[in-house]
A and B are shown apart, each in its own frame.
Chain A
Amino acid sequence: MTEAPDATLAVILTVNGERHAIRVEARRTLADALRDNCGLTGTHLGCEHGVCGACTVLMDGEPVRACLLFAVQAQGRAIRTVEGLAEGGELSPLQRAFIDNHALQCGYCTPGFLMLGTAILDRDPDISDEALVDALSSNICRCTGYANIVKAVRAAAAEMREKVPA
């Protein structure tokens, strides 16, 4: 209480399975902490007030806006960012599908869409077209590549279904 509001706090973040011991002001958002304190610049910031979804990451498997969480709130939670999608140097099926389906032009929104799409497929790989479009409307792509983003998520779902024998 006697501390100044801009005093820094010791926070340990677990990002993609790795621990990052950082010191941040309470007001530092998770998105800024990932980029500036952890050096993980894959997470992008667009609007910084929760509208655009470029900063979407997974916290304990749930998609969240990293600009609307303070880093100090993410202590003890498992954070997954776009850097955590590829395994052993191999892109995830969704990342591969984004390339194959031209689901990106400028690429600024791509990390957010990849994390959102990963969360959508984790929750419901057989999601209906209507529900998929509704869920993908969470994020903004200003190159307006939505049709190809929908195609990419569908393609990744199909590939993942083939890989996992029922």
Chain B
Amino acid sequence: MKPPPFHYHAPRTEAEALALLAELAPEEGRILAGGQSLVPAMALRVARPSHLIDINGLPGLDRLEVGDGQLRVGPLVRHAMIRRESVPGPLGALLDKVRGHIAHLPIRTRGTVCGSLANADPASEWCLVAATLGGAMLARSMRGDRMIAAEDFFQGFMTTALEPDELLAGLHLPVLPEGTRWGFHEFSRRAGDYAQAASLAVLEMRAGTIAAARIGIGAVEDRPRRLPEAEALLTNRAPTADLLRQAAAEARATLLPTDDDPTRPALAETVIRRALADAAGIELP
């Protein structure tokens, strides 16, 4: 179908965009970034914003910067701009792998990382990355800037802590130290489809044992989250096939899937086990 009518605004500066958002948010005014989720939702008539504030013409919002141990992803950084060579160390390799699971090439050239986070689809790969790595979101409005930790940012199915007048002005991710081990695994019926289950595991190894573990699950509950029970089980232990299997089974027992698809818990356990196996460098089916 065709999108319903709306007022179009193309501000020239970020300040102008924030002023428009503050004024129009009470009238269902929305930010238009990549539009790869919002515009389909409009075509399907599940979103009917009365005003769209297009930020694509704003200069300087497509920066990908590294400093103070953080990667800062600006609001107009497209999925396709996230590449191994643009981010140092294991984080670059991790994000590069994740990017390949996001939709398809013509969507990745246009869709934005921050747009995915603001949309907060439970199956979004970037939301899983932010939740697992302990990312923080920079929310900006005329009232000022504030940082929102991932665990507070994702509040439920396509629901975030952003206020209506706030622009998601950036994602901050910790740069992972050299030697950090990671694994990402996603199950979807066809390449580029929404994940039915996805997991990211990040292990900090010290002298053959797991010094710290971060394990995240996406596309299963109403929002991505870490799995503290499984993380605790792994910490200060040497990774073995049995231990990883046990951790994945433990994680599965704590999940509260949003649907009653009987395959979901098994898919979740499988992607967690595979992500852990990749991180630990252990072959596990």
Contact B106 A64 (CB under 8 A): yes
Contact A3 B7 (CB under 8 A): yes
Q: Closest chain A residue to B41 by CB distance?
A: A49
What CA separation (Å) do A29 and B8 show in the bound complex? 13
Contact A5 B109 (CB under 8 A): no
Contact B106 A69 (CB under 8 A): no
Is B207 part of the binding interface, using a Cβ–Cβ cutoff of 8 Å?
A: no
What CA separation (Å) do A39 and B35 show in the bound complex? 25
Contact A64 B5 (CB under 8 A): no
Is A129 part of the binding interface, using a Cβ–Cβ cutoff of 8 Å?
A: no
Q: Contacts A48-B2, A64-B110, A72-B8 given; indicate if A26 touches B52 (C-beta within 8 A).
A: yes
Contact B39 A50 (CB under 8 A): yes
Within 8 A of B (CB), among A64-121: 64-65, 67-70, 72-73, 116, 119-120
What CA separation (Å) do A69 and B190 show in the bound complex? 25
Q: How many whole Å from B263's CB to the nearest CB in chain A?
A: 23
Contact B43 A67 (CB under 8 A): yes
Q: Contacts A5-B50, A137-B191 given; indicate if A49 touches B44 (C-beta within 8 A).
A: yes
**Mask: chain A, 33-47; 1 = CB below 8 Å from B; 0 = not:** 000000000000000
What CA separation (Å) do A72 and B6 show in the bound complex? 12
Total interface residues on A, CB under 8 Å, equals: 35
Contact A48 B1 (CB under 8 A): yes
Q: How many whole Å from A115's CB to the nearest CB in chain B?
A: 9
Contact B107 A50 (CB under 8 A): yes
Q: Contacts A26-B5, A29-B3, A32-B2 given; indicate if A49 touches B40 (C-beta within 8 A).
A: yes
Is A134 part of the binding interface, using a Cβ–Cβ cutoff of 8 Å?
A: yes
Is B36 part of the binding interface, using a Cβ–Cβ cutoff of 8 Å?
A: yes
Query: In the assembled complex, which residues on chain A have CB atoms less than 8 Å from the CB atom of B109?
Result: 62-64
Total interface residues on B, CB under 8 Å, equals: 30
What CA separation (Å) do A48 and B54 show in the bound complex? 20
Is A27 part of the binding interface, using a Cβ–Cβ cutoff of 8 Å?
A: yes
**Mask: chain B, 99-134; 1 = CB below 8 Å from A; 0 = not:** 010001111011000000000000000000000000
Query: In the assembled complex, which residues on chain B have CB atoms less than 8 Å from the CB atom of A64?
Result: 106, 109-110
Query: In the assembled complex, which residues on chain B have CB atoms less than 8 Å from the CB atom of A50?
Result: 36, 39-40, 107
Q: Closest chain A residue to B8 by CB distance?
A: A26
Is B228 part of the binding interface, using a Cβ–Cβ cutoff of 8 Å?
A: no
Contact A116 B2 (CB under 8 A): no
Is A164 part of the binding interface, using a Cβ–Cβ cutoff of 8 Å?
A: no
Contact A73 B50 (CB under 8 A): no
**Mask: chain B, 229-247; 1 = CB below 8 Å from A; 0 = not:** 0000000000000000000
Contact A63 B43 (CB under 8 A): no
Contact A116 B110 (CB under 8 A): no
Contact B39 A68 (CB under 8 A): yes
Is B192 part of the binding interface, using a Cβ–Cβ cutoff of 8 Å?
A: yes
B contact residues vs A (CB 8 Å cutoff): 1-8, 10, 35-36, 39-40, 42-44, 50, 52, 54, 56, 100, 104-107, 109-110, 190-192
Given known contacts A4-B5, A27-B2, A138-B107, what 10 new A-B pairs fall within 8 Å (CB)?
A: A25-B5, A27-B6, A63-B109, A64-B106, A65-B107, A65-B110, A69-B35, A70-B39, A137-B104, A138-B105
22 contacts between A and B (CB under 8 A): A1-B7, A5-B5, A5-B6, A27-B3, A48-B1, A49-B1, A49-B40, A49-B43, A53-B104, A63-B106, A65-B106, A67-B43, A68-B35, A68-B36, A68-B39, A68-B110, A70-B8, A119-B106, A120-B105, A135-B104, A135-B105, A138-B106
